[in-house]
Amino acid sequence: DTAVSQTPKYLVTQMGNDKSIKCEQNLGHDTMYWYKQDSKKFLKIMFSYNNKELIINETVPNRFSPKSPDKAHLNLHINSLELGDSAVYFCASSQGLDFPKETQYFGPGTRLLVL
Amino acid sequence: AQKVTQAQTEISVVEKEDVTLDCVYETRDTTYYLFWYKQPPSGELVFLIRRNSFDEQNEISGRYSWNFQKSTSSFNFTITASQVVDSAVYFCALTNYGGATNKLIFGTGTLLAVQP
């Protein structure tokens, strides 16, 4: 019954590795997002996809590549991980019909620790 | 530029006290939406409320109430008779109107600790 799910919940890895985080929503929404929450709890958008099409890319390093195989999934692949990538990554979704007023529903977050 | 300011970094209260979390926003848009989210210690982000810029009526939901004042660009959140389960980080957020930009601009959050 989970509306927005993410896997894994925790990810511990070495610098330089490549890793992926998966996100799935069962709300029937057309728009999905990735946000990053840093160690000070600051939340900032990274990407947004609408109907599998990228609509927001917030000057994120190109080591981060989102991929949307279908409307219900938005995965985040990170190449050559750096210490500064350690954060909590949240996936979210919204209906995708009337953007400004839509409520975004968030997944449980993926806690990434780069050693 | 759009901005959300939550000046209170941490607030500590004793159970049953009332507490108000402040949120001040900046936007050039005439139509915008404001949100509050709760992040409990378990880490998920829980949606609490959405308010549009044309509706200045205060809203009450159980022990929660929200005071939106356009004149002061504020959207404050009050918890009445706080409980330990209210302990969390609370985020105020703003979206803008129009185009394909539908990102949430978050404040830095207020950590609320409710002591038994």
Q: In this predicted structure, what is the pLDDT of residue B101?
A: 60
Q: Of the candidates B46, B89, B104, which has its C-beta nearest A41's C-beta? A: B89
User: Residues of B at the A interface (Cβ-Cβ below 8 Å)?
Assistant: 31-33, 35, 37, 39, 43-47, 50, 52, 89, 91, 95-98, 100-104, 106, 108-109, 111
- What's the whole-number mean pLDDT along residues B36-41? 96
Q: In this predicted structure, what is the pLDDT of residue B30?
A: 84
A98 CA: distance to closest CA in chain B (Å): 9
Q: In this predicted structure, what is the pLDDT of residue B25?
A: 97
Q: What is the pLDDT of residues B55-74, one digit of tens each?
A: 888 888 899 999 999 999 99
* Residue B29: pLDDT band with limits 50, 70, 90: confident
**Inter-chain residue contact A106 with B33, CB threshold 8 Å:** no
Q: Which residue of A has its CA nearest to B6?
A: A42
Centroid of chain to Cα B90: 6
**Inter-chain residue contact A56 with B37, CB threshold 8 Å:** no
Task: List the end-to-end C-alpha distance of chain A, in Å, as a whole number.
Answer: 34
Q: In this predicted structure, what is the pLDDT of residue A56?
A: 81
Q: What is the pLDDT of residues B45-57, one digit of tens each?
A: 999 999 988 888 8
CB-based contact, A72 to chain B, within 8 Å:
no
DSSP chain B: --EEE---SEEEEETT--EEE--EEE-S-SSEEEEEEEE-TT---EEEEEEETT----EEETTEEEEEEGGGTEEEEEESS--GGG-EEEEEEEEE-STT----EE---EEEEEE-
